[in-house]
């Protein structure tokens, strides 16, 4: 094993990020990759042991990391998003959580063989899913908005509730079986949970007020928010253990619903921090396990319990809790299957295992193997099946990757038409109703509104679109649009037209790293002039004939715009160079009139 703490820290970061990249490269769940990487580096090959290396700092670091991750996830919980879905979400996080708790506790007692006390504690804990597992799966699966919203809200809200429910179960049972405890101790638990929620709400109000009044400079906003999160979590957790997660969730929801542009601007920074923390935490936890713990998972009692939780408890709790709601059977099926457990279950289970063992419950030694088994089983099963199941029951976004075109003009309308003919999802957006008049007379989907406004997040669903073309006549506006969508779509999927009278092209391209559409750098004016002169958008399916020969047979003024591959990927010609076609590709060109 590596002895140097510094070297172990470097290795944890490198292993976690490498696992994330491999998962992205080969399109499989990142959590599976990170967990396997941690197991290989820890109990299997014995290269690192973070718990031993970090010592007393191990648990505080994990706790603070989980708090920041949960806070970042709760910043996405804007109440405007759940218009029409509030009832099923509330039912799932209340009635559904209660049913899952009771059924899971009975399964833990009768199948896993745990005592009633331990069974009810972990039954409450195992209702959690969480943003660390749900949000990556949603990005991977590309679900339709309704089921994605329900899963996201449930995952973030029940994370702190699951931890609190486990504490509540322990406090109730301890009160019933102990002769020393009084009702005052039980009352203190409820007051602690209420105080944590109020503390989080107050912290959100203070931060929002300070930002709105300009009392915090721009360069200090992210550090101050992170400082408030850690203080809020620590104070609440010191008052009553496991209430810190509730406090930071309340703070995040409050900030998300204050609708301050400054919080939106910080979101990308917090997302980057969360990615680093998720990578580190998963590797640290899995690498700190022992071979004995891994072998205990193979116990048939544990395997039977895992199967019951996945195939009976979860589906039944969702179907019962959504009775008399507008959730469809397909949505119930998907939501009832998808419930991967993540970091909160792993971290909190360690705390309860030690507390229950200290209280004299010897069977609590099975809590960690049970948790680990449930986490791995659900992450692997749900991670690899969510996309397949969503497509099977019609809840995945189907078809080729789509294109968002910002700016309506003759060229962009013609481009949208030819994409539509090729079954490429396309959305034409413009803030001017007049500019969209010609497009509205066709079957092109349009959006009238400012695409840079945060309101577009709730008015339109952008998940079908993986490419974006900024096609307005203003270079600076195109640059802003490109910058705004870099995080969502990636720099290599964003393109722009340029106006030869709209500023220095090279400076804008260098600063915003946007790619200019078309090899010849033909301007916005020239493209629209050609369309008005009768140039036609044409499609040509490439055969065994040489690609260069196909281009040479066309008019000198023919312009290759993009290629559509058989897999549905798009390759656009840019100022960096013209794309190369292969047999089976479809070439889209702008040709002179015959």
| 531 pLDDT above the threshold of 50 | yes
When pLDDT is cut at 50, 70 and 90, the band that residue 171 belongs to is confident
Percent of the chain with pLDDT strictly greater than 70: 89
CB 279 within 8 Å of CB 16: yes
Q: Does 585 reside within a domain?
A: yes
Indicate if 332 and 473 belong to the same structural domain: no
* pLDDT attached to residue 175: 67
Residues 448, 356: one domain?
no
Counting the structural domains of the chain, the total is 2
Answer yes or no: is 327 within a domain. yes
- Say yes or no: 215 and 290 in one domain: yes
Q: Which residue has the higher pLDDT, 129 or 508?
A: 129
Mean pLDDT of 139-168: 82
Which is more confident, 267 or 230? 230
Out of 123-137, 143-157, 223-237, 535-549, the most confident range is 223-237
Q: Are 19 and 258 in contact (CB under 8 A)?
A: no
Q: 47: how many CB neighbours lie within 10 A of its CB?
A: 14
Distance CA 172, CA 183 (A): 9
**Of 392, 424, 459, which one is at a domain's C-terminal end?**
392
In a domain, 54, yes or no: no
- Using pLDDT thresholds of 50, 70 and 90, give the confidence band for residue 510: very low
Residue 13: inside a domain: no
Same domain, 233 and 291: yes
Per-residue pLDDT of 473-504, as tens digits, reads 888 888 888 888 887 787 888 998 887 765 55
**Cβ neighbours of 144 (radius 10 Å):** 20
Determine the average pLDDT of the residues in 248-261: 83
Q: Does some domain include residue 435? A: yes
Q: How many CA atoms lie within 13 A of 293 on its CB side?
A: 20
Position 307 scores a pLDDT of 93
Q: Are residues 261 and 222 in the same domain?
A: yes
Longest dimension (CA), the chain: 96
Do 271 and 381 lie in one domain? The reply is: yes
Q: Determine the 3-state secondary structure of 501 from DSSP.
A: coil
Where a domain ends, among 392, 410, 435? 392
Please give the pLDDT value at position 180: 58
Per-residue tokens: 175: 């009160």
CB atoms within 10 A of CB 122: 28
pLDDT at residue 221 in the model: 83
CA angle 90, 95, 99 (to 5 degrees): 145
Average pLDDT over residues 562-571: 87
Interatomic CA distance for residues 195 and 467, integer angstroms: 46
Say which DSSP state 430 is in.
Answer: E
**What would the mean pLDDT of 63-81 be, rounded to a whole number?**
81
How high is the pLDDT of residue 129?
81
End residue of a domain, out of 392, 424, 447:
392
The tokens describing 476, both together, are 């600076």
Greater pLDDT, 201 or 178: 201
Residue 177 sits in a domain of what CATH number?
1.20.1530.20
367 and 417 part of one domain: no
* CA gap 544, 554 in Å, rounded: 17
Pair 212, 201: CB distance under 8 Å: no
Residue 570 sits in a domain whose CATH number is: 3.40.50.720
Measured CA to CA in angstroms, residue 239 lies from 192, 247, 539 at distances of 6, 11, 67
**Mean pLDDT confidence for 546-564:** 74
pLDDT tens digit sequence for 353-368: 887 888 788 888 888 8
Q: What is the DSSP letter of 397?
A: P
Residue 513 has pLDDT above 60, yes or no: no
Q: Are residues 426 and 536 in the same domain?
A: yes
Res. 512 pLDDT band, cuts 50 70 90: very low
Strands across the sheet with 586-591, in order?
536-541, 586-591, 559-564, 570-572
- Per-residue pLDDT at 234: 93
What is the rounded average pLDDT for all residues in the chain? 83
Same domain? For 256 and 347 the reply is yes
Give residue 178's pLDDT: 62
Same domain for 583 and 512: yes
Q: Does residue 222 have a pLDDT over 60?
A: yes
Conformational region of residue 83, where left means phi above 0, alpha means psi within -120 to 50, and beta covers everything else: beta
Is residue 486 situated within a structural domain? yes
Residues 417, 369 share a domain: no
**Local structure of residue 447 (DSSP, 8 states):** E
More confident position, 514 or 473: 473
Residue 25 resides in a domain = no
> Does residue 416 have a pLDDT over 60?
yes
| Same domain assignment for residues 412 and 385 | no
**Of 35-39, 338-342, 408-412, 451-455, where does mean pLDDT reach its minimum?**
451-455
Helices then strands, each counted (H, E), the chain: 27, 10
The pLDDT of residue 205 is 92
Question: Domain range holding 299?
Answer: 59-392
Which of 76, 480, 54 has its CA nearest to residue 63?
A: 54
377/238 Cα distance (integer angstroms): 33
User: Within a domain: residue 357?
Assistant: yes
Mean pLDDT (whole number) for 77-94: 82
- Asked if 350 and 332 count as a contact pair (C-beta separation under 8 A), the reply is no
């Amino acid at each position: 094993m590596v002895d140097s703490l510094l070297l172990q820290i470097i290795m944890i970061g490198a292993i976690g990020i490498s696992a994330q990249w491999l998962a992205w490269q080969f399109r499989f769940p990142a959590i599976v990759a990170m967990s396997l990487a941690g197991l290989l580096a820890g109990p299997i090959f014995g290269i690192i042991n973070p718990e031993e290396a970090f010592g007393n700092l191990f648990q505080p670091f994990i706790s603070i990391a989980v708090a920041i991750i949960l806070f970042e996830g709760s910043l996405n919980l804007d109440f405007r998003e759940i218009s029409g879905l509030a009832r099923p979400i509330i039912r799932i996080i209340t009635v559904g959580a209660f049913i899952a708790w009771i059924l899971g506790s009975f399964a833990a007692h009768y199948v896993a063989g745990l005592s009633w006390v331990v069974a009810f504690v972990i039954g409450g804990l195992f209702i959690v899913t969480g943003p660390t597992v749900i949000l990556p799966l949603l990005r991977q699966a590309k679900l339709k908005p309704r089921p994605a919203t329900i899963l996201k809200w449930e995952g973030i809200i029940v994370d702190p509730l699951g931890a609190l429910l486990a504490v509540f179960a322990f406090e109730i049972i301890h009160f019933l079986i102990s002769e020393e405890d009084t009702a005052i101790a039980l009352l203190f638990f409820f007051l602690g949970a209420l105080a944590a929620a109020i503390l989080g709400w107050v912290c959100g109000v203070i931060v929002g007020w300070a930002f709105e009044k300009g009392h915090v400079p721009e360069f200090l906003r992210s550090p101050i928010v992170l400082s408030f999160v850690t203080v809020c979590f620590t104070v609440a957790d010191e008052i009553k253990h496991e209430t810190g997660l509730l406090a930071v969730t309340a703070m995040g929801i409050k900030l998300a619903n204050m609708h301050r542009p400054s919080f939106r601007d910080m979101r990308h920074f917090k997302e980057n921090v969360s990615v680093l923390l998720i990578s580190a935490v998963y590797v640290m936890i899995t690498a700190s396990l022992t071979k004995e713990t891994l072998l205990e998972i193979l116990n048939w009692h544990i395997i039977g319990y895992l199967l019951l939780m996945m195939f009976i408890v979860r589906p039944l709790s969702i179907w019962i809790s959504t009775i008399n709601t507008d959730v469809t059977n397909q949505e119930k099926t998907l939501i009832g299957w998808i419930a991967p457990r993540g970091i909160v279950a792993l971290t909190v289970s360690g705390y309860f295992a030690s507390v229950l063992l200290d209280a004299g419950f010897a069977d609590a030694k099975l809590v960690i193997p049970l948790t680990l088994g449930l986490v791995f089983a659900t992450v692997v099963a749900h991670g690899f099946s969510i996309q397949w199941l969503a497509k099977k029951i019609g809840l995945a976004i189907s078809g080729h990757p789509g294109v968002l075109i910002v700016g309506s003009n003759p060229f962009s309308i013609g481009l949208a038409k030819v994409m539509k003919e090729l079954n490429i999802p396309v959305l034409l957006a413009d803030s001017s109703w007049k500019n969209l008049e010609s497009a509205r007379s066709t079957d092109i989907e349009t959006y009238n509104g400012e695409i840079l406004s945060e309101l577009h997040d709730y008015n339109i669903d952008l998940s079908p679109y993986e490419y974006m073309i900024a096609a307005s006549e203003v270079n600076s506006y195109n640059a802003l649009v490109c910058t705004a969508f870099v995080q969502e779509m990636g720099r290599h999927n964003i393109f722009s037209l340029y106006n030869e009278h709209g500023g220095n092209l090279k400076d804008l391209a260098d600063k915003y790293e946007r790619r200019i559409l078309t090899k010849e750098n033909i301007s916005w004016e020239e493209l629209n002039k050609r369309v008005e002169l009768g140039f036609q958008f044409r499609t040509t399916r490439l055969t065994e004939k040489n690609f260069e020969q196909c281009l040479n047979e066309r008019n000198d003024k023919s312009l290759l715009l993009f290629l559509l591959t058989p897999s549905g990927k798009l390759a656009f010609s840019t100022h960096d160079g013209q794309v190369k076609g292969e047999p089976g590709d479809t070439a889209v060109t702008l040709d002179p009139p015959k």
